[in-house]
Amino acid sequence: MRRVAAVLSLLAASPALATGLEIDIAGEGANGTITVDLFEDLAPGHVTRITQLAESGAYDDVVFHRVIDGFMAQTGDVAFGKLGGDMRLAGRGGSDMPDLAAEFSDRPFDRGVIGMARSADPDSANSQFFIMFAPAPHLNGQYTVVGQVSEGMDVVDAIKRGTGRNGAVTGQPDRMSAVRVLE
């Protein structure tokens, strides 16, 4: 009986599972809303983290700091990527929560797929993520897939591109003005 009560208590305290995100994007390039389906079954830890950060408002006004034409748009640096911050530091930070263990899957990195950014250490994803402009099979099984854009790829396609080999965005980058969890 105690076990049943403990399980019920844990279930009651657990946040509702997210089914997706609604992300408003604003800037010189993109203006509009995208909808993302989250894959809790593939990456439950990563989806929980993204959901926590979105619900807390941490992703609001975070810029797309690295955007490579024909490849991907990266955002989610909640430490250094806020609009108005020092853009030279954007992309170097994460949240104050611990890094996540990799949750690699067989899901391919196709157009519209959302993946978690990380360093060379597979277990270093934290808050940053990227949206694919085109398929990138070389990422398959190397990065955690967390979701897929289901609406608004035209908005993603309009995100202001960066320059140079690393795609660093100069000037005024586009940003996620608001990120909401859909249940």
Provide the pLDDT for residue 87.
77
Residue 162 in contact with residue 174, Cβ under 8 Å?
no
Provide the pLDDT for residue 8.
36
Provide the pLDDT for residue 3.
41
Provide the pLDDT for residue 157.
98
Q: How many C-beta neighbours within 10 Å does residue 164 have?
A: 8
Residues contacting 129, CB < 8 A, separation 6+: 50, 74, 75, 76, 114, 115, 116, 117, 146
Provide the pLDDT for residue 17.
52
48: enclosing H helix or E strand: helix 44-56
Domains in the chain: ranges and CATH: 20-182 (2.40.100.10)
Q: What are the residue ranges in the chain where pLDDT is below 50? A: 1-16
Residue 77 in contact with residue 62, Cβ under 8 Å?
yes
